[in-house]
A and B are shown apart, each in its own frame.
Chain A
């Protein structure tokens, strides 16, 4: 994929963003922090931190419950964030935005509420070899419960899905396809629009695990055509413990509640309960109100810069990262798909990733090491784990240079 070079004003504007993130303004082990672990959890800008604090300080009460002023304010803040999320991913209706505790709960919700009643022996669920454990285990659970079978689309040596094999695996037995938008371990951007179109041609619904997609790529769920899209606030500069399940309204309408409790009901008696309307039917109990407010602020922040500009900036920086790493003697890049976002996994000589992580941390550089909750991907490459650098809009060329210099120190120690 060829990309135009960003003009200077774009690059400078994004590089200025670094000062919006207070956590980055510190030294770790005597060195300015280089944070290259945003794929695990991204840092929060001041606007998000302040929005959460302001809500707690002035507006907090339970939502959808009281007639008093604070309850109205809290409800407005919570529902206002839902509207921002709807606009951000271009959903047709706010009824399609279910607020959850994160991507993991969103996927479990679909597995238990959409799939479980429909599945039985002979049915299949189609995922891929690239998936994060949270897009594997919920399906294994529902397979155990129903006798359905989990089927896996294979990948190749650079970390791309085998689309020919995918086509072959699509059959009338498949009840749902669930594929990650961007691989957290390798950074591969999957061709989800194509995947969705092929599944829909056989009337198979598709869930996209967008945890690593939303922070790096503009999302339009109607253009993609997906039936479900799951993502988390904390990967996109918002708080932890909050996420979204986008679901096509006609599908959500037919699904039974996932959990029972307050707020998801219209009327309760001991004879029976009438469930609330969408999306509240799926939001039992008091939600993470301040977290949702923070997620709304994170969306405001992303939109103030522009997700397309962020994508372009990160794309160029990822190319620089891959080039610089490739120039290090003894490096092995893991995951070299043509179309990637944010992430570069690697190994250096025969140094264990955990040792690399400690040596880099000692120089103020934070990377992720290990299996990245994607053990099948590690098994494919015959390794126990990788070192992984992941980029966000606040990273820059200096961060990459510090990483490469940090690897030199590891080579010296293990020479």
Chain B
């Protein structure tokens, strides 16, 4: 893995794409959601990233509002921001399909994941796959989402 590979592609720029930097600098949906119905904490003990995710479900079990707070690296903050952009308006089963697709794309990129889903901005995180130590940063918020949906009491951990 060279700093710039034979195609002149800069892997660091692939990792830190403009969309990721934008969401890291100005995370959307940041803050506490006072009337949340579901919440979960995500912790990455390796680097100390910590976030709390809030979901509000309507009567049809659809996510009608969501937010997060906490601190972390650019990848984990941007991932939380993009994730919430994606899942607002989805019902729980579809949100979980996205969770499985995102974590699958990161850890088993050879296989098909979420081909039936509109991954949109999530694909900006594909560059993370070249940086194995950072995959946990990109999936932390998604694991917290999974925990929140299943109402798990222990924090989601990347370990």
* Interface residues, chain A, with chain B CB atoms under 8 Å away: 29-31, 351-355, 358-359, 362-363, 369-371, 375, 378, 384-385, 409, 413-414
Contact = CB atoms under 8 A, between A and B. Distances in A.
Contacts of B131: 358
Query: Could you say which of B11, B13, B74 has the most chain A C-beta atoms within 10 Å of its C-beta?
Result: B74
Interface stretch (B43-51, B99-107, B115-123, B147-155): B43-51
Contacts of B12: 358-359, 362, 409, 413
A354 B49 contact: yes
Contact of B73 (A355, A371, A375): A355
Interface in B135-150: 137
A22 B118 CA distance: 49
A31 B71 CA distance: 32
A354 B137 CA distance: 9
Interface in B55-100: 71-75
B11 A362 contact: yes
B71 A358 contact: no
Given A358-B15, A358-B134, A352 B74 contact: yes
B74 A385 contact: no
A355 B131 CA distance: 11
Contacts of A30: 1-3
B21 interface: yes
Nearest to B128: A358
Given A384-B48, A385-B47, A362 B137 contact: no
Contacts of A375: 48
Contacts of A353: 47, 73
A413 B2 CA distance: 17
B13 A370 contact: no
Contacts of B50: 384
B139 to A, nearest CB: 14
B16 interface: yes
Nearest to A356: B73
Contacts of B111: none
Contacts of B7: none
Nearest to B77: A352
B46 A352 contact: no
B73 A352 contact: yes
Contacts of A378: 48
B48 A29 contact: no
A362 to B, nearest CB: 5
Contacts of A354: 47, 49, 72-73, 75, 134, 137
Nearest to A364: B3
A56 B120 CA distance: 56
A313 B11 CA distance: 37
Contacts of A369: 47
Interface string B10-50: 01110110000100000000000000000000000011111
The 5 closest A-B pairs by CB, nearest first: A352-B73, A354-B73, A30-B2, A384-B48, A354-B47
Nearest to B74: A355
A414 B21 contact: yes
Contacts of B1: 29-30
Nearest to B16: A413
A29 B47 contact: no
B11 A413 contact: no
A381 to B, nearest CB: 13
Contacts of A358: 12, 15, 131, 133-134
Contacts of A413: 12-13, 16, 21
Contact of B75 (A31, A355, A385, A414): A355
Contacts of B73: 352-355
Given A384-B50, A385-B48, A413-B12, A362 B3 contact: yes
A29 B75 CA distance: 21
B46 A29 contact: no
